[in-house]
């Protein structure tokens, strides 16, 4: 007898006990339960800024299947099963290499090292090409991404990205982030801060 795992969840506008708009946490918990069918309620009850929660959740939940399929197709077209077998032995380093197979075929360079401002972070992790696209809705930015890191600390949220087209990335982020977000770029570096308080948002520089 086959078993189908079904998850139904009222996510209350993606706000948890900690009152912040936490789409990434929703995706993380769905992935942890690994259901075949997902039914979510109140997805859009308290939308934040310009982020479309429907588009974000749909992309993040189906990304491994859609992007993975295109990646496999590209490798087979270039080198057949032999190249695909090599990819299983040496998986892509980043989501950028999955979204842009030419990057993987060119040697799959490691991501650039990105440092956040010095402070104690409650959460700190990488911010990949797929995260950037899911947030902005602009697939073309995958080729621009070179490295990224995000953290949540006492002063608020800090994001640092290295990108070939930093001005375009900064503009795309400004379009979807809340009005309180400060976005700057300098050379190939893009910096974002969403401050907890007005005081912590002062003297924001991109470095």
- Residue-wise pLDDT for 3-32, tens only, equals 889 999 888 765 555 455 677 778 888 888
The pLDDT, as a whole number, for residue 190 is 97
The pLDDT, as a whole number, for residue 85 is 95
Tell me the two tokens of residue 58. Answer: 């749909």
pLDDT tens-digit map of 162-200: 999 999 999 999 998 888 899 999 999 999 999 887 655
Higher pLDDT, 89 or 122: 89
pLDDT tens-digit map of 95-149: 999 999 999 999 999 999 999 998 888 889 999 999 999 888 898 898 999 999 9
* Structure letter (DSSP) for residue 89: H
Of 143, 132, 139, residue with least CA distance to 97: 143
Residue 58, pLDDT > 90, answer no
CA–CA distance, 70 with 30 (Å, rounded to integer): 23
For residue 15, how far is the Cα from the chain centroid? 18
**Contact call for residues 121 and 151 (beta carbons, < 8 A):** yes
Percentage, residues of the chain above pLDDT 90: 47
Span 59-72, mean pLDDT?
84
**Contact call for residues 124 and 116 (beta carbons, < 8 A):** yes
Please tell me the pTM assigned to this model.
0.74
**Contact call for residues 15 and 22 (beta carbons, < 8 A):** yes
The pLDDT, as a whole number, for residue 105 is 93
Angle between helices 129-136 and 53-89 (to 10 degrees): 160
**Contact call for residues 96 and 110 (beta carbons, < 8 A):** no
* The dihedral sign for the CA sequence 28, 32, 35, 41: negative
Query: Which residue segments constitute the domains of the chain, with CATH numbers given?
Result: 6-48 (no CATH), 59-105 (no CATH), 123-201 (3.30.1360)
| pLDDT band at residue 34 using 50, 70 and 90 as cut-offs | confident
CA–CA distance, 59 with 62 (Å, rounded to integer): 5
């Amino acid at each position: 007898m086959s078993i189908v795992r079904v998850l139904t969840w009222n996510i209350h506008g993606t706000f948890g006990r900690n009152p912040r708009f936490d789409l990434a946490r929703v995706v993380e918990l769905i992935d942890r339960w690994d259901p075949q069918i997902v039914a979510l309620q109140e997805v859009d009850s308290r939308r934040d800024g310009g982020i479309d929660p429907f588009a974000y959740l749909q992309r993040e939940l189906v990304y491994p299947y859609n992007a993975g399929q295109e990646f496999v197709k590209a490798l087979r077209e270039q080198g057949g099963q032999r190249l695909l077998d090599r990819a299983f032995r040496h998986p892509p380093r980043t989501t950028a290499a999955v979204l842009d197979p030419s990057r993987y075929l060119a040697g799959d360079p490691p991501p650039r090292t990105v440092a956040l401002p010095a402070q104690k972070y409650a959460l700190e992790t990488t911010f990949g090409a797929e995260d950037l696209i899911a947030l902005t809705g602009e697939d073309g930015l995958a080729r621009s991404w070179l490295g990224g890191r995000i953290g949540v600390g006492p002063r608020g949220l800090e994001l640092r990205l290295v990108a070939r087209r930093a001005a375009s990335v900064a503009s795309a982020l400004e379009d979807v982030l809340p009005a309180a977000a400060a976005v700057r770029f300098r050379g190939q570096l893009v910096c974002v801060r969403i401050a907890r308080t007005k005081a912590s948002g002062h003297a924001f520089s991109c470095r």
